[in-house]
Structure 1
Amino acid sequence: MYNGKEHGGVEGALFANLDDTNHITVADPYLIDIVQSLMNLTEAWKDKVKGGSIKLQFAVQIGSKLDADRQERLMEFVQETPVPEKDMGKVLHAYAMEMPEWSIRHILRIYRLAERTKAALIMFNDLMERLEQVIRQFEFDFWDGNLPREEDRLESVLEDVHHKLTALAEHAPRREKKAYNYNGSYGDSSSNSWEHQEERGGVSFHALIGVPDEADAKQVRKQSKKLLKLLHPDHGGSAYLFDWVKKAYDVYNGNGHKE
């Protein structure tokens, strides 16, 4: 329930004067979930919503995914560690997965390194393909909760990804930039590379989305929809992976794999 007066827009109205007798009863299930998520926020996060310093949609995600203790730790983390807005969804997801804070900082470093490495390798198709494979697998493991829970193994996996990206980045300065090495499609995150992946001997679409190779079209569709919902940028997911899964699934359907 929330007061119907004007208090800085919808966000303010949801938290202002909750003990007032003037209120609106929310009956729509979708809105009930949103209001409940907002009411689950700690006072510190509610203050940020009322002050307009975070988006309402992100606040709903916090209230729906984190208990009070993890909300407090997330607040401390973002106050101590500068996090770009585009990476806040990753941090929230990591807290929802109860990952240790050192690993969250390491994951943010991996994403920053991946961006710098992509900029360095944009002229080299073969290295871009290898970069794409490394970061794609890492992102699937991260967003699908497949990273190790045991801290020593987790550190080893993150260090391995970091090492692979660093090694790729070190190749670029030693190679002559010739025009025939460059494919303009990599200026758009190489998203069309799926069409050639099986020709390169890469991992199958079935394996990457997490279904058996013998899965039928209905199973593939169900898992693809689940991943697209998880990875949607509006839900704090990865725009790169969302685009890749969407285009890969379109190619899969275009090859006659329909229900």
Structure 2
Amino acid sequence: MNTDQAFELLIEAGVTEDNSIQTVRRWFRERKITYKGSGQDTGYILNNTDQAFHLLKDAGVADSTAVQIVRRMLREGQIEKVGSGIQKPTYPLKESASKPLTNRPSDLDMMIRQLKVKLKAQDEHIKGIEHLHQTSIARLIQQIDILKKDLMKLEKEKSEFQMETKKLLKENIDLTNELLKIKGELFKGKQKDPEFEEKVHTPSPSHTIDYRQKLGLSKMASDKEVLTRYKKLLKITHPDHGGNASAFHFIKTDYDQFRHSINMK
């Protein structure tokens, strides 16, 4: 089993990515795994269930979880055979210590071969670590790219929402201004009526319903809702805020009358 296959085994076992990387590096140093793949190897195969169980245990996986994973791997053909249950894992044995140099050519040749084997193993070890490091960087870059795309999508949705809000606000302001314009014209016409003052200050029995109709509210709207709507209109039409003085006076008169009618209840 190579480094890529060992990493995938630990990830499937629920080990975190950081712990998986550290464990794979340690296994590689201890010669429990080898490096052979190109970074895309899948379908790892272990010798037996004992080896798989001991590897998972060595990585800190709980016994019950390790047993379940080993059974699944055996069913899926990722383990060659069932072990005895007590067998310890077998890994490549460490090479014996070098024999002292002698003057015999055969001994020198043997030592050279051993040194070459060690150098090759060290080179593969370094390559395995470098590959594992590059794989981790590639994963991080991929995650960053996904987060950037999500961020861009959210920014776009936010911009569209703001544009839609501004559009609705503008339409609301235009409708309000149109309503105020109409009310202002009505107010000017009523000022010419000699009976205007009497009509304004003498509320009829159905005057409360008239207020709600004027404001476009439901007949069931509460007094608080009517007052709130009048306050908003007063703020918009106030001359200090660039509003129409005539419309402001008209709305202020209605507002004062409605508030007086509430107090009289």
Same fold, TM-score > 0.5, yes or no: no
TM-score by length of structure 2 reads 0.25
